[in-house]
A = this chain, B = another copy of it.
C-alpha cells in the first residue's frame, strides 16, 4: 500500500545548485520547514557514490517530516538507501521496470512533455503514481529538455492525465500563481529554492502563493 503524498510544493534538490553535500542538507531541511511536500534528489553531474551518501543523510530529515524522498532516474540508488520512490523520464528505465525493482509500496513518478506521453502513461495501470509535466517555461537547469509547453499546454496535459500531475520547468515565485491556472496538483521547483539566499523563506513564499489559488 503506497502512502498518501502531497505534490503541492515539490522540491527538486540539485546539490550542485545548493553548493554541495552539506549545503544540500541545509536546503532540504529549510525547504521542508518552509512547506516543501516532496523532495526529489537529482544530481546529474555527480557520481553514484556521492548521490548515495547524500540520499542516506537526507532520509532522516525527510522521514522526520513525513515528506517522501524520491530519487531521480537511479533505481539502484533508491534501493540502496531505501528511498520512498523514484522519478523516471522518458529515456530512463521504463516505469514497469522501475515498479518491478522498487516493489509495490514505492512512489513512482514519470516525466511527460506531450499528449502522446500522457496517453501512454494513462495505460500504465498500477505502475505510476504521479506525472511530472513540462517544461512549462524555458529553463537552464535541464539542457536536454523538450520545448516549453506553456501554461495552456500544461493545462491540456493535466486535464488529459488520470494521475496527479506536478508542473515543472522554469517555475519561480513570480510565475507560480500563473501556473495554477493549468490546475496541476502542485508545482516543482529547482533553482527557486536551491539557489535562494533563504531557502526556508523561498519555500514559504512559494507555498503561500500556491495556496492562494485563483
Contacts and interface: CB of A to CB of B under 8 A. Distances in A.
Interface string A33-56: 000000000000001111010000
A49 B93 contact: yes
A80 B101 contact: yes
A213 interface: no
Contacts of A201: none
Interface in A145-201: none
Given A48-B73, A73-B48, A79 B101 contact: yes
A77 to B, nearest CB: 7
A65 interface: no
Interface residues of A, number: 21
Nearest to A97: B80
User: How many copies make up the complex?
Assistant: 2
Nearest to A51: B93
Interface in A77-92: 77, 79-80, 89-92
Contacts of A49: 90-94
A76 interface: yes
A21 interface: no
Contacts of A73: 48
Contact of A93 (B48, B90, B100): B48
A29 interface: no
Contacts of A101: 76, 79-80
Contacts of A77: 93
8 contacts: A47-B92, A48-B73, A48-B92, A48-B93, A50-B91, A74-B76, A77-B93, A80-B93
The list of the 8 closest CB pairs from A to B, nearest first, reads: A47-B91, A75-B76, A76-B76, A80-B97, A49-B91, A48-B93, A48-B92, A79-B101
